[in-house]
Structure 1
Amino acid sequence: MYLTTLRGAHGVPDGLLAAMFEARKQIFVDLLGWDLPVLAGRYEVDQFDDPRATYLILTDESGQHLGSARLLETERPHILDTLFPKLCEDAVPKGPTTQEITRFALDRHQNARRRRRVRDTLVCALADHALASGIEAYTGVAEIAWLQQILAFGWDCEPLGLPREHGATLLGALRIAIKPETPMLLARAGLVPEPIVTLRPIRHAA
């Protein structure tokens, strides 16, 4: 697999960003039925997809999107503090070394075994990115089924409050502490990433 780290998005995207935004639309809007903005009928892009967002994108040899995640700085508006602060029993975790994981997306045109391998690879890539970037914690909001998976990954993860009803589902917030031993904990819990070729990060201007 190939990992590319991109910074920033603006307007209707092209190239690798386009593939990611199109996959997000297919997953979160078409499959899950979330009420989200869609550009040009193809791309799921919201108000948090701005020049300060960071994207980790996994592709195959042909450049096809396999999985991706968006990271938001918590000292700026982000999903937990803007849309779901009531999911936190105490204050929303914020700070220069805390980022929020959002739009964790696995391309839907993969079988279950392949999706599991892409999932494991992306989770491990997020841990490695944090260790390389000085990120000490991730936060996130997740539906209950995905929340339970995240909690079972073996890393130092804790709920920030009790799950709450949101439409027809339950949502919960969590905080993941990232430490030098995090990759070992993920491996011990059974996450098996594929080897990654890291491509040169590209910065996209607004």
Structure 2
Amino acid sequence: MGLGCGGNLECYGLLQIHTYESLLENSKLADGMFKDRAYQFVDRLKWDINKNDQGLEVDEYDNPSAHYVLWVGPHGEHLGSMRLAPTISSNMIRDHFDGYFSLEASVSQTDWEVTRLCISPEAPKATLSAISAELVKGACLFGLENGVRSFVGLCFPAMLRIYRRLGWSPCVVERSHIDKSLIYAKWSVDFSTFVRLFGRTSNIATSTEMANEVLAA
């Protein structure tokens, strides 16, 4: 599904929402996303996750239950993305972070997990915050159209600041007692959130400070 974008950002690409299957049908887009994820999470942030033999970051949650919100460049290239998946399926919080929090991970038809927010290193720096904002809008729209009441996910304090600047500040459900920097967060999905997010500007002339925060997160 393609979604138009107003403001100056539209000349830099288009928001798309894909199922796992439809994403794989576009090998350029899929490979670009997995390659950019490898750069961001493995090479730059040094997360303890693996790249495959093709240099792509693909894990067990890239499967038919996943959906993807992507910002696609004017030549069909990946510039940004995030992954959404129902919590009733196998998910990262329950499978890999059991015991990090006193609360049990959410398992609900109306709660979805959000993971792998990624911005391509090829995205123009002036567009970084605007692309992030469009991904957030796309996730909210997907949620409204698919009966999602909230998204849950793990993040660090830097990401909380970014989401607040984007206008979708999550509720801090709990901070991990094992890793104090790890936060279990929940984002509400409702019509008022939708109106607030879509009322914000998509103009690429956003602050250097915000762009630097996106790069650093």
Same fold (TM over 0.5): yes
CA distance in 1, matches of 2:164, 2:104: 20
CA distance in 1, matches of 2:49, 2:151: 23
In structure 2, the CA distance between the partners of 1:186 and 1:163, relative to structure 1 (3 Å rule), is farther
Structure 1: where are the runs of 5+ without partners?
195-206
Pairing 1:173–2:201 present:
no
In structure 2, the CA distance between the partners of 1:4 and 1:97, relative to structure 1 (3 Å rule), is same
Pairing 1:26–2:39 present:
yes
CA distance in 2, matches of 1:27, 1:19: 12
CA distance in 1, matches of 2:19, 2:127: 27
In structure 2, the CA distance between the partners of 1:147 and 1:84, relative to structure 1 (3 Å rule), is farther
Pairing 1:6–2:18 present:
yes
5 Å-filtered alignment, 1:107-126, equals: 107-126=120-139
Structure 2: where are the runs of 5+ without partners?
1-12, 204-217
CA distance in 1, matches of 2:106, 2:164: 18
* 1:83 Cα deviation after fit: 1.5
* 1:2 Cα deviation after fit: 1.7
Pairing 1:63–2:79 present:
no
- The residue number in structure 2 matching 1:128 is 141
Give the count of matched residue pairs. Answer: 190
SS in 2 for 1:160: strand
What root-mean-square deviation, in Å, do the aligned CA atoms of Structure 1 and Structure 2 show?
A: 2.6
User: Runs of 4 or more off by more than 6 Å in structure 1?
Assistant: none
Deviations 1:26-65 (CA, angstroms, capped at 9, x unpaired): 1111111112121124100111111211111111111111
In structure 2, the CA distance between the partners of 1:187 and 1:56, relative to structure 1 (3 Å rule), is closer
- The residue number in structure 2 matching 1:197 is none
Deviations 1:105-150 (CA, angstroms, capped at 9, x unpaired): 0112334321111111111111111111211110011122112322
CA distance in 2, matches of 1:146, 1:156: 10
SS in 2 for 1:100: strand
Amino acid in the other structure paired with 1:7: T
CA distance in 1, matches of 2:46, 2:108: 32
CA distance in 2, matches of 1:171, 1:46: 20
State the TM-score, normalizing by the size of structure 2.
0.77
CA distance in 2, matches of 1:8, 1:121: 20
| Alignment equivalent of 1:183, drawn from 175, 178, 194 | 194
| Alignment equivalent of 1:192, drawn from 161, 178, 201 | 201
Identity over aligned pairs, percent:
23
CA distance in 1, matches of 2:187, 2:139: 11
More strand by share: 1
State the TM-score, normalizing by the size of structure 1.
0.81
CA distance in 2, matches of 1:94, 1:40: 34
Q: Is the CA contact (8 Å cut-off) linking 1:130 and 1:136 kept in structure 2? A: yes
Q: Higher RCO, 1 or 2 (CA under 8 Å, sep at least 6)?
A: 1
In structure 2, the CA distance between the partners of 1:60 and 1:40, relative to structure 1 (3 Å rule), is same
